[in-house]
Amino acid sequence: MDRMHLGCVTYNVLKDLDLEGIIKILETTGFEAVELRTEHKHGIEPSISKERREEVKARFARSRVRLLSFGSTCEFQSPDPAVRRKNIDLGKEWVELAHDTGALAVKVRPNGLPKDVPVEAVVKGIGESLHELGDYGSRYGVEIWMEVHGGQTQNPPLAAAILRAANHPNVGACWNSNPTDIVDDSVAKSFDLLKPYLRNAHINELANSAYPWRELFTLMKRAGYDRYCLCECAESKEPERFLRYYRALFNALGGAA
Which H helix or E strand runs over 55? helix 50-61
What burial class does residue 188 get, using C-beta atoms within 10 Å of its C-beta: 0-12 exposed, 13-18 middle, 19+ buried? Answer: middle
Q: What is the mean pLDDT of each run of 10 residues along the chain (257 residues)?
A: 89 97 98 98 98 98 98 98 98 98 98 97 98 98 98 97 98 98 98 98 98 98 97 97 98 90
State the Cα–Cα distance between residues 28 and 10, nearest whole angstrom. Answer: 16
pLDDT for residue 256: 83
pLDDT for residue 167: 98
Extents of the domains making up the chain: 5-252
Which residues neighbour 83 within 8 Å (Cβ) at sequence distance 6 or greater?
Answer: none
* Helices 50-61, 81-101: inter-axial angle, 10-degree rounding: 50
State the Cα–Cα distance between residues 201 and 204, nearest whole angstrom. Answer: 10
State the Cα–Cα distance between residues 11 and 243, nearest whole angstrom. Answer: 13
State the Cα–Cα distance between residues 142 and 243, nearest whole angstrom. Answer: 28
Measure Cα distances from 94 to 7, 104, 121 in Å. 20, 11, 26
Does domain 5-252 bear CATH number 3.20.20.150? yes
List the one residue out of 172, 254, 247, 252 whose CA is nearest residue 7: 247
pLDDT for residue 257: 66
- Report the DSSP pairing between strands 143-147 and 198-203: unpaired
pLDDT for residue 169: 98
Peptide bond into 12 cis (omega under 30): yes
Residue type, 111: N
Beta-strand (E) ranges in 160-224?
171-175, 198-203
What digits encode the pLDDT tens for the residues 25-53?
A: 999 999 999 999 999 999 999 999 999 99
State the Cα–Cα distance between residues 189 and 195, nearest whole angstrom. Answer: 10
State the Cα–Cα distance between residues 156 and 160, nearest whole angstrom. Answer: 6
State the Cα–Cα distance between residues 188 and 170, nearest whole angstrom. Answer: 24
Contact assessment for residue 119 and residue 159, using Cβ atoms and an 8 Å cutoff: no
